[in-house]
Chain A
């Protein structure tokens, strides 16, 4: 059984997914994607939402980056990894290793 937990993203083979208490939704009133937990609301930009929609626990970070490159002209790998690392630290994203 793979180790699952809110750890830092260390390997491109990690498979991130939203933590069970987190909900990603589109807010009609504000016309933005938002990430919801019991006590917090994080407003996302389009890229942030695109990244999180790919975090399904099946795709690896490498696969997510490849998908994003297919959609956007420029994808800064380090920025995507940093974005995920922040959400991992906030326990919004969990990672299965290997």
Chain B
């Protein structure tokens, strides 16, 4: 069995933003009993021993954890590469300097669009100006900066301007990832999935920008898997390279695996090593023995690992089926009809988007 390379620590699901493409669980309120600082440090120490080299600190908004600096210092002391994935709300100069001193290696800031009105509308609160200020602060402190942009029907036509903005603030990398349809994003899929014409325009913009910004800014562009012929190699294979610990201490092979009808595995009850090596949850889809046809006999089974288990479950009700994104899947019609709808319908109105709520306001909906 391989050792895990990366740990995604979702420290809290609290977040000031309301992005409608959020992949956090729909039942946010069930995660309010968060691990304590000592519990997180225990998880990190065990992860380091297990071979984890990269720690991605995310959420929700990880800056809402008051112990973030302590967590970073501890992980850095264990030789891990520490990466903060943030909306940047709460990244004051003082906090940033403390994180820098604690050894934080890299900062990823999300932006929703290239201009204030649209960005704030998607985020569900005024946040754009603060994000830009934070991005500039990150560069001023000498950190490498990645801007993360989740693309969808409402912002993908702004891609050229988004890239100009990224270059202007001095981003070293920009991740342009089309929405993945989990959690709140799946609920909002009809309103978010771009049309084929939009994607073609976006690809032209990316190609030109790659040429123009060569050597200045690295660009990662991820198409929506609904439009690809083969599924994505989700997490590099189930329980193969990555693990996620969510705010309440549950350990998952991927951040959305809580949606699957599988036994839970929590660091409150078991060691991280046992969970990685032996838990029924991590063993369930490891390797290729679990695969049905057409995956079982497919030459690509060690390349894409049958795609995403959560997507298979969400779309077919059975997590052990081939990811319906694959054109060879017997369930591919489900994806094909969503794509057809995205290309037939007139652009849905913005009001259709359901904003992701705050965990503590969930019950007041």
A interface, CB within 8 angstroms of B: 5-7, 19-21, 23, 25-30, 34, 36-39, 41, 91
Q: Do residues A38 and B83 form an inter-chain contact, with CB atoms below 8 A?
A: yes
- If A6-B215, A91-B218 touch, whether A29 touches B51 (CB-CB below 8 Å) is yes
- If A29-B3, A41-B53 touch, whether A21 touches B215 (CB-CB below 8 Å) is no
Q: Do residues A21 and B144 form an inter-chain contact, with CB atoms below 8 A?
A: yes
Q: Do residues B53 and A34 form an inter-chain contact, with CB atoms below 8 A?
A: yes
- If A5-B215, A27-B51, A29-B51 touch, whether A38 touches B79 (CB-CB below 8 Å) is no
* Docked pose: A22 CA to B79 CA in angstroms: 13
Would you give the 0/1 interface string for B125-146, flagging 1 where the beta carbon is closer than 8 Å to chain A?
0000000000000000011101
* Docked pose: A29 CA to B3 CA in angstroms: 9
Contacting B50 at CB < 8 Å: which of A19, A29, A41? A29
B interface, CB within 8 angstroms of A: 3, 5-6, 48-51, 53-54, 79, 81, 83, 105-106, 108, 142-144, 146, 172-173, 215, 218, 220
Q: Do residues A36 and B54 form an inter-chain contact, with CB atoms below 8 A?
A: yes
A-B contact pairs, 9 of them (CB 8 A): A5-B215, A6-B215, A20-B142, A20-B143, A20-B144, A27-B79, A29-B48, A29-B49, A39-B220
Least Cβ–Cβ distance between B54 and chain A, in angstroms? 6
| A interface: dominant SS | loop
In the complex formed, the residue of B with least CB distance to A23 is: B81
* Extra 20 A-B pairs, beta carbons < 8 Å, given A25-B53, A38-B54, A41-B6: A6-B215, A20-B172, A21-B105, A21-B106, A21-B172, A23-B105, A25-B81, A26-B79, A27-B79, A29-B49, A30-B51, A36-B54, A36-B81, A38-B81, A38-B83, A38-B106, A38-B146, A38-B173, A41-B5, A91-B218
* Docked pose: A19 CA to B173 CA in angstroms: 13
Minimum-distance CB pairs A-B, first 8 = A21-B144, A29-B51, A36-B81, A38-B106, A38-B83, A25-B79, A41-B5, A20-B144
